[in-house]
Amino acid sequence: MFGVPAVPVAIFLTEQGRLPSLWGLFDMYAGPWSSRFADDRVVALLLLYSGLVLAAVVSGWLLWEMRKAGAVLNLALLPVEAVFWIGLALPIPWLFGFARVALVSLAWAEISGSRRQATAATPGRTRPPPT
């Protein structure tokens, strides 16, 4: 959700030479990186973050397809995303990060196949006839 506006913010920064303000309250993505690095580097970091979020979306799709690779990728991306959350001063994604860990952990047995194997091995359990 925070990767989508990163591209328009990068375009705005390139054109205007400053970060856009969110309703006059604060500058968007104005973390330690925006004050430490030149604008062109901040633009590159914003675009990189947008690509990272796109990779997280792909991992979500893989999770939806019940693929273990989706869970592994999703959890592997979190530390990299956390670096961007700190560098771009994004406070809210931390909550979504904790939720992602919790939800992937809850689904791990189903994704890894251990629950499916246990269900298939249950005596007296029959499958419905194919339709």
Given phi > 0 = left and psi -120 to 50 = alpha, else beta, which region is 21?
beta
Tens-digit pLDDT profile for residues 33-69: 888 999 999 999 999 999 999 999 999 999 999 999 9
The answer to whether the beta carbons of residues 34 and 43 sit under 8 Å apart is no
Yes or no: say if 93 and 85 are a contact pair by the CB < 8 Å rule.
Answer: yes
Q: What is the mean pLDDT of residues 98-112?
A: 89
Q: What's the pLDDT at 84?
A: 95
Cα–Cα distance for residue pair 35/37, rounded to 1 Å: 6
Q: Identify the weakest region by mean pLDDT among 3-7, 13-17, 25-29, 101-105.
A: 25-29
Helix %, strand %, coil % of the chain (to 5): 70, 5, 30
